[in-house]
Structure 1
Amino acid sequence: MVRARRFDVLVFLSILLVLSGCVAPVTPEQSTPMDASDGTSGASAQTPNSVGTPVASTAPVVTVTVVDVVDGDTVKVRYENGTRDTVRLLGVDTPETYGENTPDEFEGVPETDAGRQCLRRYGEQASEFATDTLDGRTVRLGFDENEGRRGYYDRLLAYVYLDGEQFNYRLVAEGHARMYDSQFVERTRYAAAERAAQEANRGVWNCATAAADGGSAATETETESESEDGPLRLSLHADAAGADGDNLNDEYVTLTNTGSESLALGGWTVADAADHVYTVRTGTTLESGESLVIHTGSGRDSDTDYYWGRNSPVWNNDGDTVTVRDETGTTVAVHRSG
């Protein structure tokens, strides 16, 4: 009888194991790190930090595909199981493209028709930038322990990560958006990025000059201009033909040796204002009068053309800063456009 009982138990356990494979998959809502009742983060959010944020709790935990870009700070996504959602990017606010803008929300922008018109132009550019960068792409979502999982319009509140970088932060650093005034975890870092963008009159902060010139503050990119700092001359072609995201190799920076001696560039870095960094490969030498073109996209390196290998645009069409540093970290040349 004892043996028969043991056999029955083993059969019962085997049936349970088989049935466990038929359990329904976790839904997108359940896969997020926020508890539906109180908005607190779960253990899955506490992952090692290697994803473009110094805050482990905001690390990405959900994979989605961007199926539509509503505007600069709102996108529609599809989960891996096919369901859809609308995501409002945490911590940022781009100018309105459909409704009326309120200039006093953007520090220094005048409360005038010129100020509002300037903000609308930059709102449209933010939407174009988000479309070029995110539309159709697979991204990951991270959440914030200080914010609820959903906002007033039931939109999912999240950080969007592309290629390991936090897109929300990039919007602020490159002047596409202001920091949204709330108590989100990343607030201190975003505030510093916003101050830097304001001081450089980057992107939307150009609108602060709209009162002085009747609204004609420059919003077009100076796509090719030069900075001469010692023997290394820089030029930037930021605005690729067509959509930047579809033509990444037409976005590039050119390094030209105007000196009489060769330059050993191995280990030197090229960075934008948002600190995206490209490192020149070891053994690279630029002879007097020669140029090296560094394309954003992918390709086979040649003597004259190198490829960053990125999947999204780097250089801001509204103006950006190119900084070249040698292998010791010393700044060799700086070029500002826009």
Structure 2
Amino acid sequence: MGAVMPKNAIFNGGLSYDLTSSRLVRLWLGLELLLILISFILLFFMPEAAGWLFLVVFCAVLLTLGAGVFLFVRYSLIPVVKDKRTYITERSKILKKVSKTKTEISKIKKTLATNQINENQEIAKALQKIHKEYIETGLTGEKIETGNISGVGPKLKEKLKANGIISAADIGLNIQNLEGFGKAKVQALLNWKESVLSQLESTKPDKLPDIQLSEIQQRYKRQRDNLTKTRESHQLRQTECGLELEAVNRNLSRFTGVNFINYLRTNLFGGINNRFSQSASAAILMSVIGLGVLIYGAFGIISSRALLVASVPAPTLTSTITHTPTQIPTSTVTVSPSSTITSTITLTPSITRTPTEDLSFYNVSDCLPKNTLFQKGTVVQIVDGDTIQVRLEDGNTYRVRYIGVDAPESERPYYTESKKANSDLVLNKEIILVKDVSETDQFDRLLRYVIVKNIFVNLELVKMGFAVAETYPPDVACADTFSAIQNVTRGSQIGIWIATQTPEPSFAQVVIISVNKSAEYVDIKNVGNIDVNLGDWKLVSEKGNQSCSLSGTINVGVTLRIWAGTAQGAGYGCGFGTSIWNNSESDPAVLYNAQGVEVSRK
């Protein structure tokens, strides 16, 4: 229809606009209109034409209508049904994988709990065994012969020895059957044994030997480590399944509102001519089809009559046929010429994003450390896209830096949008702060993961395209999860990823803060949170196109003065023998990184 369209574009309710099918449908429509025109000429202006001509046109109309039905089924109904079934089957498979993964994670959690219980039970049993052996050894070592037993003299001790009763371990109720041992003597022996036992109980060891305890603990720890790795693998798989499920659901949503008229309109008008509403398109198309059917019926009657006439031999008698013309009303179809319309498809990024609170299909919170510090507080101020001011429950206020993500700094693209997204998520809301390894960064800001209601804020900013995943060891518990989400966001071209996909956006760690043309120097500052290597960076005078190659490292928070000539005092000298800045005209200073990407200008 005049505009060059991509091979496969999406229009009108998610239908695929394919050039091949579109051209075939338009060819069919043109042929159908041509046959209708020929039919009108034959019916109303050439009624005496040869019967074979009517028969040919009749067959052509029939074949054209059949071809139209075939095109509609081939390029509309079959692909839509097939694609939809494919996505439904794929979604079913993903849901089964998600369910299976959840079951495996649940089993691992139960096994981990059982592992800890088994470890404690084994340590307790080992300690009981040591206690038993200690008491048995002590009782056996305590000899009656040397014991101080009230009322039991050497003769009685000799008698006990003769009966095999040598130590405290041998004393039992059976001694009352011995001759010469009355009730008092028996009780004295039992009391002595009880005192020995009591002393042993008070001196028995209260823990296992270090080697034995360490062996048990290490054995169970290895089991727990293996289980934990397996669980993390399942959790990552669960996250990937969730992202796949989102993609499938998006594809299925394309089929919402797909119908016969939408398909025709898309292929006939390319989905780009807004002057044709869906109802108008339906009226035009149904009119063409209706005329075709009427012509088909008329040709059926006329062609049949023509064939019958042709098959009857000519009569020998000449008959005079008086023809009385009948006035046939004619309908005039006026088609207003339509102007050529050039379509411009503008992809406008959506800045305001609604956070997704339902994260059930991938439990991103599973990456958070478990045995760590949890704090509650209220956000009282938004500093930027990855930093907030929080009042904790103790009443003190702290500045908190999000772990694992980096948002645009001030004066950089998407700084305002990133800060607003952060504000919409957490400002004046109660949050939970989760510590990883580090307590604070070099600026004494608390390093935390942030949760508000059911939203993992660090991850949500990456998912919305207002922050990038950055790894700052040793705080890396959720690094893999952030990276996986970022890959999907980048592929969807959301937020900071709209303009370009490669190279990755580089938020200006280093910016130009002042230019003194008369003194011939430029001040640059590292406003980021990591030191920057200036090797192969360039500072350019745009008007004169003079370029100064930089080197060295600029530390966080440091301002570096770059002189056009020789450095005066502290700073960096470019070595130009003459002035390079134009004082009478606009001559911006432009800073390029090692990849040749402009990072700042002033």
Larger gyration radius, structure 1 or structure 2: 2
Query: How high is the TM-score relative to the length of structure 2?
Result: 0.22
Higher strand residue share: 1
Q: RCO higher in 1 or 2 (8 Å CA, sep ≥ 6)?
A: 1
Higher helix residue share: 2
